[in-house]
Amino acid sequence: MRDTTLAASPTRGFLTRTELAGAAILAILIFLVLPAILDPFRLNLYGKYLTYAFVAVGLVLCWGAGGILSLGQGVFFGLGGYCMAMFLKLEASTPEATAIQSTPGIPDFMDWNQVTALPWWWEPFHSLTFTLVAVVAVPVAFAFVIGMAMFRRRVGGVYFSIITQAIAAILTILIIGQQGYTGGVNGITDLRTLKGWDIRTDDAKEVLYLVNGVLLFACLGIAQFIRRSKAGRLLIAMRDREDRVRFSGYDVAAFKIFVFCVGAAFAAIGGAMFTLQVGFMSPSFVGIVPSIEMVIFCAVGGRHSILGAVWGALLVNLAKTGFSESFPELWQFGLGGLFIAVVLFFPEGLAGLWNRHVAPLPARLRRRPVPPQVPSPAAAPKKPMPPASPAGTSPAAAPAE
């Protein structure tokens, strides 16, 4: 597949004009429009949707740029979320608050399962600093191990997808089975305060929403930086002609591991923000179904566009909520149809529609008096190109330098 923005831009700037415009529109929406027009309940919902956007942005890097489709991103989302939830649960489980338990001072679900002392690996989560590090470090370490094992042995494509899916299944069964230590199928619930600050109030939710937005833009910036860097261009080259990159002397596996870890880190941050905004974490985010749904957000937004991923996460979830509020028994038809439509008719997702129809508009308008044969460098190709096959030669596949 071709990366339209990269291919069409002759400049080596950090952002093209259209990307800048897209980012500005998104920023205005997230930081100004939504907080202004939504009540706290709806704003919190949007905050929740935006936590999925972190995963989708990570997937754009892994899948869109790197060609690695992970069906286990929920694992990292969940691990990040669980790390955060452990800290919050410990804070909520003061001896005073849990006085009715047979062992006060430990989380309630442990007490229900006859665990009488806090397990050693819960202890460090008393510290907020440790927790914040762990939120990113634990999932990244896990991704690193998986990546090392798989990419070093050149497991790729479909096999990688299915193995990540199996890992998601394993972790779900483990978390559910070890309920004395993890809260089991209920998850870790009833989280109250962060360093004494009540995260359940409307004010707190608004602050968390804004923090979430800032973090999301930070991740978008990092993702854009990676895509613009040499590593990013190599990734795309690898996706299209892995052997050629390898023969050119690059360590293909190292790049893949790197980008997979970055994707995991983004997902983990999303998971932690999810825990903070929703107030609990449960194994239902770790499994296969949510992991595939997260891929769908990315596909709907456009697998090559980091901004598209954010829009994808927002719109699919909005559709899901809207559909299920109006036709609870029909929303699966809508969702299923959406997947098929996106794959069949809009493989570039929303971003593709934008690039093809909206982005060229200003240029076209400006160009109207000028004879049409003068090509404008900033515009996307006027005629829609047929979708290129993965093996096809796309402009982006050629070495950039």
Partner 1 sequence: MPPKPPSPPSRRSFLAGSAALTAALFLPKHLKAADFPTATVNTTGLAVTDTEVTVGILHSVTGTMAISETGSVQAEKLAIAQINAQGGVLGRQIKFIQEDGASDWPTFAEKARKLLVNDKVASVMGCWTSASRKAVLPVFEQHNGMLYYPTFYEGLEESPNVIYTGQEATQQILAGLDWVTQTKGAKSFYLLGSDYIWPRTSNKIARKHIEKLGLEVVGEEYYPLGHTQFNSVINKIKLRKPDVIYAIVVGGSNVAFYKQLQAAGIDLTREAPLLLTISVTEDEILGIGGENIAGAYACMKYFQSLDNANNAAFVQAFKEMWGQDIVIGDVTQAAYLGPWLWKAAVERAGSFDIDRIREASPGIEMDTAPEGYVKVHENHHLWSKTRVGRAMPDGQYEVVFETAELVEPDPFPEGYQ
Partner 2 sequence: MFADYSWGELGSIFAMQGFAGLILFSVFVLMALGLAIIFGQMGVINMAHGEFMILGAYVTYLMSGLFQTWLPGLFGIYFFVAMALAFVVAGALGMVVEWALIRRLYHRPLDTLLATWGLSLILQQTYRSVFGAREVGVTVPSWMMGSLPLTNMIEVPISGLFVMVLTIVIAAGVYLLLYRSQWGLQVRAVMANRTMAEATGINTGRTDRLTFGIGCGVAGVAGSAFTMIGSTGPTSGQLYIVDTFLVVVFGGSASLLGTIASAFTISQTQSFLEFFLSGSMAKVLTLLAVVGVLMLRPQGLFTLKLRK
Q: Which two tokens stand for residue 360?
A: 């060229």
Q: Name the residue with tokens 């941050």.
A: 269
Q: Which does 2 bind (CB under 5 to 8 A by kind): partner 2, partner 1, none?
A: none
6/96 Cα distance (integer angstroms): 58
84/275 Cα distance (integer angstroms): 7
Question: In terms of Cα–Cα distance, which of 62, 28, 2 is closest to 351?
Answer: 2
Q: Which does 44 bind (CB under 5 to 8 A by kind): partner 1, partner 2, none?
A: partner 1
User: Rg for the chain (alpha carbons), in Å?
Assistant: 22
Measured in degrees and rounded to the nearest 5, phi and psi for residue 263 equal: -60, -40
Cα torsion through 334, 335, 337, 339, rounded to 10: 160
Neighbours of 123 (CB within 10 A): 11
The answer to whether residue 100 forms part of the interface with partner 1 (CB under 8 A) is: yes
Q: Which does 278 bind (CB under 5 to 8 A by kind): partner 1, partner 2, none?
A: partner 1
The answer to whether residue 210 forms part of the interface with partner 1 (CB under 8 A) is: no
Least distance CB 159 / partner 2 (angstroms) = 6
Q: Contact, 354 vs 308, CB < 8 A?
A: yes
Q: At 213, which amino acid appears?
A: G
Hey, CA dihedral for 217, 223, 226, 228, is it positive or negative? negative
Which of 112, 217, 250, 339 is close enough to bind partner 1 by CB under 8 A? 112
Residue with Cβ nearer partner 2 (225 or 333): 333
DSSP state of 107: -
144/138 Cα distance (integer angstroms): 10
Least distance CB 215 / partner 1 (angstroms) = 20
x-marked contacts with partner 2 along 93-132 as a string, rule CB under 8 A: ----------------------------------------
Least distance CB 296 / partner 2 (angstroms) = 7
The answer to whether residue 339 forms part of the interface with partner 2 (CB under 8 A) is: yes
Q: Which residues bind partner 1 (CB under 8 A)?
A: 39-42, 44-45, 48, 100, 102, 109, 111-114, 173, 176-177, 179, 184-187, 189-192, 200, 278-280, 282, 284-285, 321, 324-325, 328-329, 331-332
* Residues binding partner 2 (CB under 8 A): 63, 69, 71, 149-150, 153-155, 157-159, 161-163, 165-167, 169-170, 173-174, 176-177, 288-289, 292, 295-296, 299, 329-330, 332-333, 335-340, 342-344, 347, 389-391
